[in-house]
């Protein structure tokens, strides 16, 4: 379960909607309001119903890491809020202008980190090999930065990268389905994900490695399987 929020102010949210002429199904809460909501409403309600951390993982943030600093500390530095939170959800869009925020593991060691959304913003082009490479690169980087898992945006899309209710432009994923032909097309992204999901089972542990830096564009992930 995650709370989808906008890390800025309500004014920023309104400008965003006006500029792009679209709205998303999110709360639009700044960090301080989201944290107060968890502390005073959502957290106590879940706990009273018997859904504590032993039964349910409540995640906060669920946005791009480029705005991590504007949101997460505001929420989790309040221990009365943090006691209800199990993890930090984030998306893979937007890049990491200041590097991957490794302070997550330093400051929030009791929280897990999960990449909860990824897709190809370039569109649903069939056979786009660079899209598969992008997925693989991001998964390797994420798991090397203590991320517990990585989730694709959607299991399957139609041939236009939809359905989408708020934008005419569709995005790319792992599988596209043509309902008129009854056919499904596995994209390079599908096979890229498979290189990890098939060979890294649950309970695997990331272990250290060294890389020959003289080899350009070479990334490595090493894990010990159970």
State yes or no: is 133 an active-site residue.
no
- 169 CB contacts (<8 Å, ≥6 apart)? 123, 161
Give dist(CA 95, CA 115) in Å, integer. Answer: 13
Give strand ranges (E) for 15-154. Answer: 59-64, 87-91, 112-117, 149-150
Cβ–Cβ under 8 Å, residues 94 and 69? no
Query: What tokens does 184 get?
Result: 């499904």
Give dist(CA 40, CA 48) in Å, integer. Answer: 12
Alpha helices by DSSP H, listed for 77-175, are 79-82, 103-107, 129-144
**Residues β-bridged to residue 90:** 63, 115
Give dist(CA 114, CA 149) in Å, integer. Answer: 5
CA-CA-CA-CA dihedral for 14, 90, 120, 212, to nearest 10: 140
Query: What tokens does 193 get?
Result: 């994900």
Out of 69, 117, 133, 203, which one is annotated catalytic? 117
Q: Which residues are catalytic?
A: 117
């Amino acid at each position: 379960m995650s709370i989808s929020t906008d890390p800025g102010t309500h004014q920023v949210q309104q400008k965003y909607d006006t500029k792009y002429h679209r709205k998303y199904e999110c709360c639009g809460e700044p960090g301080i309001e989201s944290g107060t909501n968890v502390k005073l409403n959502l957290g106590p309600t879940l706990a009273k119903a018997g859904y504590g951390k032993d039964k349910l993982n409540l995640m906060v943030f669920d946005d791009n890491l480029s705005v991590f600093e504007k949101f997460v500390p505001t929420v989790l530095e309040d221990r009365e809020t943090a006691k209800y939170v199990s993890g930090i959800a984030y998306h893979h869009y937007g890049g990491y202008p200041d590097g991957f925020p490794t302070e997550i593991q330093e400051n929030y060691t009791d929280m897990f980190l999960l990449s909860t959304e990824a897709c190809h913003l370039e569109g649903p082009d069939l056979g786009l090999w660079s899209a598969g490479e992008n997925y693989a690169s991001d998964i390797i980087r994420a798991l090397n930065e203590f991320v517990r898992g990585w989730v694709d945006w959607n299991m399957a899309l139609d041939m236009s990268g939809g359905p989408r209710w708020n934008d005419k432009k569709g995005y790319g994923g792992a599988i596209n389905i043509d309902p008129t032909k009854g056919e499904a097309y596995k994209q390079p992204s599908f096979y890229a994900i498979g290189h990890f999901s098939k060979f890294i089972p649950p309970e695997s542990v990331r272990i250290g490695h060294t890389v020959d830096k003289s080899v350009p564009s070479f990334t490595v992930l090493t894990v010990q399987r159970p």
